């Protein structure tokens, strides 16, 4: 079993459409098991992983992020393209817009954030200057332009603990702090991917305006419906990006653990 690329599907992205010879596998890791579908696209081996399970049965704070990322590492994945449904903190980011996230604020509370909890693995203080791989983001931006897919290049993803939506006061705070979009899953996924020395990028889909900005109360159905209407844009973007990637990892991601020695 082997894959070079992974697509992590968030809310509304549960099927590995476009993969040839797709086969489901359960991967055992030291942190528990992870579900993936392995297949081929344009001659490249791709792992598809539905973050919340194939039926959206795992809440954001209960996702086994370590098992998921470790499973991808064990498969040999070097590049992860993740989707995420997010609320917008700004009028100018409207439902249906895509944002290439370039930084995060972490408001999570109960999730393991590291593979390195002390002996025997050691302790790691991973650098977050370029949390979302800027080389992969640049590649996605270029591919999006070539496909006439509009993306906003750069945005700060506020990760909340969930599973509840935010209060209006929280949303005012996150906007004042410089957040652009709000979701429940990017942290710790992005951190663990960096610890695993993988290139990781997120294309966030704005599915709604956040609480207090939106004219009506939020529902999960609104998130799912907007995602469904627009998901084809993300699929096209990711599969083209995989097809056109030549795998030269000139960024710092492959050496993120240089101080410690690799996983």
Q: Give the residue numbers of the binding site for substrate.
A: 184
Whole-number minimum distance, CB 180 to ligand HPA, in Å?
12
210 binds ligand HPA (CB under 6 A): yes
Size of site (CB under 6 A) for ligand HPA = 14
126 binds ligand HPA (CB under 6 A): no
166 vs 197, beta carbon nearer ligand HPA: 166
107 binds ligand HPA (CB under 6 A): no
Phi, psi of 194 (to 5 degrees): -65, -45
87 binds ligand HPA (CB under 6 A): yes
41 vs 174, beta carbon nearer ligand HPA: 174
Per-residue contact track with ligand HPA, 129 to 168, x per CB under 6 A? -------------------------------x----xx--
75 vs 86, beta carbon nearer ligand HPA: 86
3 vs 63, beta carbon nearer ligand HPA: 63
- Looking at residues 189 to 208 of the shown chain, list those that interact with ligand HPA (rule: CB under 6 A): 207-208
Whole-number minimum distance, CB 223 to ligand HPA, in Å?
5
Site residues (vs ligand HPA, CB under 6 A): 85-87, 160, 165-166, 182-184, 207-208, 210, 218, 223
């Amino acid at each position: 079993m082997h894959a070079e690329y992974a697509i992590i599907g968030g809310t509304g992205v549960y099927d590995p459409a476009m993969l040839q010879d797709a086969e489901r596998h359960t991967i055992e890791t030291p942190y528990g098991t992870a579900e993936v579908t392995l297949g081929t696209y344009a001659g490249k081996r791709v792992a598809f992983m539905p973050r919340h399970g194939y039926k959206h049965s795992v809440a954001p704070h209960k996702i086994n992020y370590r098992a998921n990322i470790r499973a991808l590492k064990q498969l040999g994945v070097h590049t992860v393209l993740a989707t995420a449904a997010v609320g917008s903190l700004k009028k100018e980011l409207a439902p249906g817009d895509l944002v290439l996230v370039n930084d995060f604020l972490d408001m999570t509370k109960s999730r393991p954030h590291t593979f390195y909890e002390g002996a025997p693995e050691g302790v790691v203080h991973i650098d977050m200057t370029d949390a979302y791989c800027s080389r992969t983001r640049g590649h996605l931006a270029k591919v999006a332009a070539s496909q006439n897919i509009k993306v906003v290049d750069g945005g700060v993803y506020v990760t909340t603990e969930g599973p509840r939506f935010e209060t209006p006061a929280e949303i005012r705070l996150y906007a004042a702090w410089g957040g652009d979009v709000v979701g429940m899953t990017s942290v710790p996924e992005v951190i663990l991917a960096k610890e695993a020395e993988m290139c990781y990028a997120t294309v966030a889909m704005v599915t709604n305006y956040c609480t207090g900005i939106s004219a009506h109360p939020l529902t999960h159905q609104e998130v799912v419906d907007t995602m469904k209407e627009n998901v084809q844009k993300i699929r096209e973007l990711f599969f083209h990006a995989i097809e056109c990637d030549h795998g030269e990892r000139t960024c710092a991601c492959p050496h993120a653990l240089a101080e410690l020695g690799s996983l």
